[in-house]
């Protein structure tokens, strides 16, 4: 496994880190197998969140025993000092740790949240206090809207930034990447496969790591996935012309109106699993898996048929996707 320095935190992180969302779906013992496999293969950066149900607990149970060999990052969507302080305490308790290496403001979405988190009585105050008290070693920010992340980095307080960046969402990332480099901010890349839109893991991760980023954190919930991802970090090599061309073709095909599976639109009051519908629709339209996708879709407990077009999901989607119209199209193809 290769390692890079995470900006001015000075932490030495594996170029392939561990995204903590998918372990929510598996049992504690299965998670332990996956996490231990990652450790065996040299992965030392683990990212989770208060919002990822039992992910913190599952990671803490394994990583606590290897505390000096791992770098643990978590995050919360609390924007007030009070909420942030309470969540830092909860994270420490849940993971049974004395300190957390990196605590991040999770998914900063709009100007109001920015003003609240960075203003008087905001989350940043509690983060700084926790840092002074030694409960949190470093402070970072995560989000999907690059303009707010740029503003956050300009404050000079954030030591890391985490955002989606991949072969199909590369356009416009230069400003943020350049600013991160200029300010010594460590770059953590999430959603390396564009929410499942890219299937070729190796070239997708290597594309990202050709840029000035410290670590890329694909989610993993099976030992085989860990092997596949870690192998990329162990054998980093430039993309071949064919691989680059294939990623470019994929990007052109997807355009910008596609679901990144961030799930911020959930929950839908009708119970529609929006991201899964779009994933199956992607398999239908992009991968020529029509029968397979139809069968899976028709086996869903709640299909897009149940959408009553209330629009709640669209207000929450950071990519402003026309979800209702997209669901209607998917329904026609898959139903
Ligand atoms: S518009 Fe449809 S999918 Fe979106 S929240 Fe409303 S019912 Fe759910
Ligand atoms: S529809 Fe939007 S909010 Fe929902 S998962 Fe996809 S990208 Fe995320």
Q: What is the pLDDT of residue 292?
A: 85
Buried b (16+ CB within 10 A) or exposed e, 112-130: ebbebbbeeebbbbbbeeb
- The response to whether residue 259 sits with its C-beta less than 6 Å from ligand 2 reads yes
pTM for this model (two decimals): 0.84
Distance from residue 32's CA to the centre of ligand 2 (Å): 29
- The response to whether residue 109 sits with its C-beta less than 6 Å from ligand 2 reads no
Q: Which of 143, 256, 258, 264 gets mutated to test ligand 2 (max ligand atoms within 8 A of its CB)?
A: 264
Structural domain boundaries in the chain: 3-247, 274-334
| Per-residue model confidence as pLDDT tens digits over 125-182 | 999 999 999 999 999 999 988 888 999 999 999 999 999 899 887 877 899 999 999 9
| Average pLDDT of the chain, as a whole number | 93
Q: What is the pLDDT of residue 173?
A: 87
Mind giving me the DSSP string for 74-142? EEE---BHHHHHHHHHHHHHHHT-S-EEEEEE----SHHHHHHHHSTTBHHHHHHHHHHTTSEEEEEEE
Q: What is the pLDDT of residue 36?
A: 98
Q: Cα(145)–Cα(275) distance, rounded to whole angstroms? A: 19
| Per-residue model confidence as pLDDT tens digits over 221-265 | 999 999 999 999 999 999 999 999 999 888 887 777 888 877 889
Q: What is the pLDDT of residue 31?
A: 97
Which atom of ligand 1 is closest in space to residue 306's alpha carbon? 7
Residue 287 above 90 pLDDT? no
- The response to whether residue 315 sits with its C-beta less than 6 Å from ligand 1 reads no
Q: Could you say which DSSP state residue 4 is in?
A: E
Dihedral, CA of residue 325, residue 144, residue 189 and residue 194, to nearest 10: 0
The verdict on domain 3-247 having CATH code 3.20.19.10 is no
> What share of the chain has pLDDT > 70, as a percent?
99
Distance from residue 268's CA to the centre of ligand 1 (Å): 5
Q: Cα(292)–Cα(171) distance, rounded to whole angstroms? A: 32
With beta carbons less than 8 A apart as the criterion, state whether 7 and 187 touch.
Answer: yes
């Amino acid at each position: 496994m290769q390692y890079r320095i995470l900006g001015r935190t000075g932490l030495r992180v594996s170029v392939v880190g561990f995204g903590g969302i998918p372990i929510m779906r598996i049992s504690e013992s299965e998670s332990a197998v996956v996490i231990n496999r990652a450790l065996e293969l040299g992965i030392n950066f683990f990212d989770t969140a208060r919002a990822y149900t039992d992910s913190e607990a599952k990671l803490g149970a394994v990583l606590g025993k290897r505390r000096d060999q791992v770098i643990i990052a978590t995050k919360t969507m609390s924007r007030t000092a009070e909420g942030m302080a309470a969540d830092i305490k909860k994270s420490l308790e849940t993971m049974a740790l004395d300190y957390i290496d990196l605590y991040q403001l999770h998914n900063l979405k709009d100007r109001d949240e920015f003003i609240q988190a960075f203003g008087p009585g905001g989350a940043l105050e509690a983060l700084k206090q926790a840092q002074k008290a030694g409960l949190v070693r470093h402070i970072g920010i995560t989000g999907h809207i690059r303009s707010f992340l740029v503003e956050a980095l300009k404050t000079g307080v954030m030591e890391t930034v985490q955002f989606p960046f991949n072969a199909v969402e590369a356009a416009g990332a230069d400003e943020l990447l350049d600013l991160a480099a200029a300010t010594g901010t460590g770059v953590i890349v999430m959603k390396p496969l564009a929410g499942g839109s890219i299937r070729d893991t190796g070239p997708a991760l290597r594309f990202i790591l050709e840029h000035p980023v410290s670590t890329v954190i694909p989610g993993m919930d099976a030992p085989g996935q860990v092997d596949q991802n870690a192998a990329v970090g162990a054998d980093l090599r430039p993309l071949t012309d064919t691989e680059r061309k294939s990623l470019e073709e994929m990007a052109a095909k997807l355009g910008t109106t596609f679901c990144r599976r961030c799930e911020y639109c959930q929950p839908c009051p009708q119970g529609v699993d929006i991201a899964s519908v779009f994933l199956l629709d992607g398999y239908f339209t992009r991968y020529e898996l029509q029968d397979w996708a139809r069968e899976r879709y028709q086996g869903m407990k709640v299909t897009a048929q149940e959408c009553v077009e209330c629009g709640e999901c669209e207000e929450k989607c950071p990519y402003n996707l026309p979800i209702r119209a997209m669901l209607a199209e998917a329904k026609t193809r898959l139903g």
